[in-house]
Structure formats: C-alpha cells, structure tokens
A and B are shown apart, each in its own frame.
Chain A
Amino acid sequence: MAEVENIKTAYSQSKSVFGAVQAIKSQLAGFQTHFLLVFASSSYEQTLLCQSLRSAFPNAQMMGCSTAGEVVSQHLLQGAVVVMAFNQQIIADIHLEVVEDLTDNRGLDVALKGFETHFGVDLNRIDHRAYAGLVLIDGMSKMEETFIERLGDKTNLVFIGGSAGDDLQFQTTHVYAQGKAYSHAAVLVVFKPRNGFDMLKTQSFFSSEKHLTPTKVDPATRTVLEFDSKPAAQAYAEALGVKIADLPSLFMRHPLGLMADGEPFVRSPQKLNGQALDFYCRIVEGVPLTILNPLDIVQDTQKALSLKLAEMGSVQGVIDFQCILRTLQLREEGKTESYVQLFENIPLVGFSTYGEAYLGHMNQTSTMFLFK
C-alpha cells in the first residue's frame, strides 16, 4: 500500500497570478489542505496573489511572504510561486496572528494573547517540544532584531523563520496572511505537529582566532563606528590583513560571528560607510565578535542535514529559510543543483531571505524546520 502523503509541494513559474494559482490548485487537487505556506516572487501583484490563493483554498490557514528567490523540492527558482500544503494528519492544531504595525509594541502583545486564548496556555509555559512557531517579517523594516528579541522575551516557544525579500530590489517586501498582503508587518503561526519536529540552524563557517569588539555602534542603522576603539573599517581590514578598499570583496567570505557555545550567530557586513561599516544585522556594543572563515555550503549543509536526519529517523517535509547571500554564492559557484539534491526524496519548500530568525535575527544562515 502506498504511503499517504501528509505534506505536498507545488509550484508555478507562470508570469500571471491567474496562471500560477490555477497551476498550484491543479497540482494540489484532491489533497485536503489544512495549512498552506506560500513563498512568491515580488514580481507578482501581491494583493491579487493572496486573494486568488484564498479563493482557491478557502478552508486553509494561509501564511507566506515575498522573496528574493524560491526553493521547492528539487528546484531553486526565481520569479515563481512555491507552496507547501499540510493536511490535518501532520498538523494537529494551528493558529495564525498578524502584527500589522511593527513599530507598535502592543501589536505583538495582542498577537501573543491570541495564541494563548486559542491554545489555552501561557506561552511561557507551553510545551516547547510539542508546539513550535513560524515567523515571517518585513525584510526592509530593520525591525527584525527588536521584534524577534521581544518574541523571545515573552515566550519560551521557539519561532523560526525569515525576513521577506523583494528580488533584490530593496524597496518593499510583503508578508501574507489569510488572503491579504501586508507591508511593515509580521505574520506568526503557532502549531502542533502531530508526529514531532526538529529545527536546524546551519551557516557553513568556522571560527578564526581573530576577534573584534564593537566599541561604538549605531544600533538603529546597524552601523559599527568603531571596533576596539579604532575606526571600524580600519580594524576589520587590519584583522584580515588587507587594505580597506579590498574589504567589500571579502565581506561574504569573512562575516563576523556572535559566538554562543562555539556556534556563530552570523552578522554580515553590508558596505563601507566612510570609516564605518554597515551590517545586515544589529551589532551590540561591547560583545566580542569572531571573524569567520568560509566552508563549502553544499558539503557543510549536507553534513549538518545528515546528522539531523539520522537523529530524527524519518522526515516528512522541510521548510528552508535560506539567506539570499548563501543563494547568491551557490549561484556564483554553480552549485544550486547540488544544494537542492541534498533534500532528495524529502518535500522541500523555502525562500531566499533578507535575514533569518532563530532566537534572534541573523545573516548568511539557513534555518530549517523539519516535520517528522
């Protein structure tokens, strides 16, 4: 007897919203979709896309966002819509909340209250082995650190996810919830996978022996003005043994790591800003950072994934929140096929993010959710 599928993926590269939604509906025909996770290129008209998906799947909870590239079983795409559909055999219970204004702290409080009302339990005391959260957040808001930190303050539940993208336009990103598209917003779900789950955070770097301590920062702009009381660019260049002018070509290969038990939470430099450095992630003053050295993304991810799969036994599906910088590197090295092959025989969905979420906001990382 054939094994019943509890998770299905579908995708379309149709340029029209109508064509894309029809294709996805057709690929999921006969499947009882309880929860639909959607990642789509910003090239689609976002409101129309959400409304059309809602019409096609009126009984499903729907969450998603715009991307800087899409991932679906065996494909790393651009300009597409990808979805993962879950039935009730895999998700026993689910609740979705939208925080419509990231600048208003009350929004998150109301959302968390909504989860507590639905599940009937204090989120600080919820069983974090039975329940988990997903978070998708506006990738242009520069609010991710504050929001995800507050999420961690208020709950012991682990939320994993990423920042929405817009195909490297760096203008406007959207998150999707129940047929609507939002900007300057976040969408959260808390669910109870019926058969268990695990998470994986992998970044394909190892620590050097070199450290830099931020001594002057502007958190609001994610700028480091000084490392070790020297102009940031000068200190970083000295640590790498290169000229300041050469730094931009080395940012992706040598980002900085906030080290927790030997594991880096990656902070990636974005650009030189005079003598200062702008990052893709807020840097905290006074906490030493380690200069990281690169590993091969495919080989290192394979190692991390194999270990996790061996621990879990069987996996019914994976959601991959992969940093756009990793995707760009895979494309540059011609390794996109090798990367998606790592997930052979496992339903996979994901997107290229403007930042990843797991306990905090980070860069150049893949955060993955694995359904047992």
Chain B
Amino acid sequence: MAGQIKSILEQIILFKSLGDPMLQKMTKVKLLIKGIQVDDFNDDSPDDPAMIAKLCDIVDEFGLTSGYFEQFKQVEVNVDG
C-alpha cells in the first residue's frame, strides 16, 4: 500500500496546529528538525513501517490523542510482536 505516511503527517499537523495556519507552518519546521521532510511524502509514497513507527513516536511526543493514530500504533505493536 502507499500514501499512509502523507495521511498521518496531515493529521499530525492538523491536530498539533488546531487548524491555525501559523502553527501549521511551525509544526512543519518542528517535524523537519526531527528529520521529517513533510513535502517529500505524497499519495504514492510507500508505507514504510519504520517511518510509520517514527511518526507514532512523534504523535506521543506531541501528546496527540486521537483514534486515528491508534490504528497505526496497533500495527506497530503487532509488527514488534
């Protein structure tokens, strides 16, 4: 499958910024400083499990709570065994 990373990033930015355009821009910079180049990911980007796991860690670091993110954390747990 493809495109999940882009979707997760969109949700992280939305939840972290609460829809505020200035905070959206700042959140993208915060992600870049963590090594995530948001604009590098599109609908065709492969669903790299390592990157999805990294994004799940960032979700936790940002303290974001949403059912949307839980599905990916569940996958992460299953992958880890």
When the two chains form their complex, are residues B33 and A284 in contact, meaning their CB atoms are under 8 A apart? yes
A258 within 8 A of B: yes
A173 and B25 alpha carbons, distance in the complex (Å): 33
Once the chains bind, are B32 and A260 in contact (CB under 8 Å)?
yes
B37–A128 touching, CB < 8 Å = no
The reply to whether the CB of A243 lies closer than 8 angstroms to some CB of chain B is no
Residues of chain B within 8 A of A153, CB atoms compared = 30, 61-63
- A158 and B26 form a contact (CB under 8 A): yes
**A149 contacts partner chain B, Cβ-Cβ < 8 Å:** yes
Alpha-carbon distance between A261 and B16 when the two chains are bound, in angstroms? 19
B residues near A150, Cβ cutoff 8 Å: 61
Residues of A close to B32: CB separation below 8 A: 258, 260, 287
List the A side residues contacting B63 at CB < 8 Å: 124, 153-154
- A interface, CB within 8 angstroms of B: 124-125, 128, 149-150, 152-154, 156, 158, 258, 260-261, 265, 284-287, 359-360
- Chain A residue numbers with a CB within 8 Å of B16 are 156
CB-contacts of B24-42 with A (<8 A)? 25-26, 28-30, 32-35, 37
* CB-based nearest B residue for A282: B33
Q: Is B22 an interface residue (CB 8 A)?
A: yes
**Minimum C-beta distance from B26 to chain A (A):** 6
Is B33 in contact with A128, judged by CB distance below 8 angstroms? no
A75 to chain B: closest CB distance in Å?
Answer: 33
Determine whether the beta carbon of A287 is less than 8 Å from that of B37: yes
**Contact residues on B (Cβ < 8 Å of other chain), bracket:** 10 to 19
**Known A156-B16, A260-B28: A360·B62 in contact at CB below 8 Å:** no
Known: A156-B16, A156-B23, A260-B29. A149 touches B34 (CB 8 A): yes
The residue in chain A whose Cβ has the minimal distance to the Cβ of B36 is: A287
Contacts A125-B18, A149-B30, A156-B18 given; 13 further ones with Cβ under 8 A?
A: A124-B18, A124-B63, A128-B20, A128-B22, A152-B30, A152-B33, A153-B61, A154-B63, A156-B26, A265-B29, A284-B35, A285-B35, A360-B33
B30 / chain A contacts, CB cutoff of 8 Å:
149, 152-153, 359-360
Q: Which of A153, A158, A261, A265 has the most CB of B within 10 A?
A: A153
Question: By CB atoms of chain A within 10 A, which of B16, B18, B26 has the most?
Answer: B26
Main secondary structure of the interface of A (DSSP, over half): loop
Contacts of A359 in B (CB 8 A): 26, 29-30, 33
Contacts A125-B18, A128-B22 given; indicate if A286 touches B29 (C-beta within 8 A): no
User: How distant is A124 from chain B, measured CB to nearest CB, in Å?
Assistant: 7
Q: State the CA gap A152–B33 with chains docked (Å).
A: 11
When chains A and B are docked, how far (Å) is the Cα of A156 from the Cα of B13? Answer: 12
A158 to B30 CA separation, bound complex (whole angstroms):
11
Q: How far is the CA of A181 from the CA of B8 in the complex (A)?
A: 44
With both chains docked as a complex, state the minimum distance between the C-beta of A76 and any C-beta of chain B, in angstroms: 30
Q: Once bound together, how far apart are the Cα atoms of A152 and B79, in whole Å?
A: 29
Chain A residues positioned under 8 Å from B20 (CB to CB): 128, 156
Query: How many angstroms from the CA of A158 to the CA of B29 in the assembled complex?
Result: 12
B65: shortest Cβ distance to chain A, in Å?
11
Question: Which of B22, B33, B34, B35 is most buried by chain A, counting CB atoms within 10 A of its CB?
Answer: B33
Contact B35 A286 (CB under 8 A): yes
Nearest-neighbour CB distance to chain A for B18, whole angstroms, equals 7
Residue of A149, A150, A156, A265 contacting most chain B CB atoms (<10 Å): A156
Interchain CA distance A359-B20 in the complex, whole Å? 16
A284-B35 Cα distance, complex, nearest whole Å: 6
**Residues in chain B near residue A260, CB distance under 8 A:** 28-29, 32
Please report the C-alpha to C-alpha distance between residue A359 and residue B33 in the assembled complex, in whole angstroms. Answer: 9
Closest to A152 in B: B30
Q: Which residues of A contact B26 (CB under 8 A)?
A: 152, 156, 158, 359
Which residue of chain B has its CB nearest to the CB of A361? Answer: B33
Closest partner residue, chain B, to A214 (CB atom): B35
Contacts of B23 in A (CB 8 A): 128, 156
Contacts known (A153-B61, A153-B62); A287 close to B35, Cβ less than 8 A: yes
A284 to chain B: which residues have CB within 8 Å? 33-35
Q: Find out whether the CB atom of B29 lies under 8 angstroms from the CB atom of A360.
A: yes
Q: List 22 A-B contacts (CB under 8 A).
A: A124-B18, A149-B30, A149-B33, A149-B34, A150-B61, A152-B26, A152-B33, A153-B62, A153-B63, A156-B16, A156-B17, A156-B26, A158-B26, A260-B29, A261-B25, A261-B28, A284-B33, A284-B34, A287-B32, A287-B35, A359-B33, A360-B29
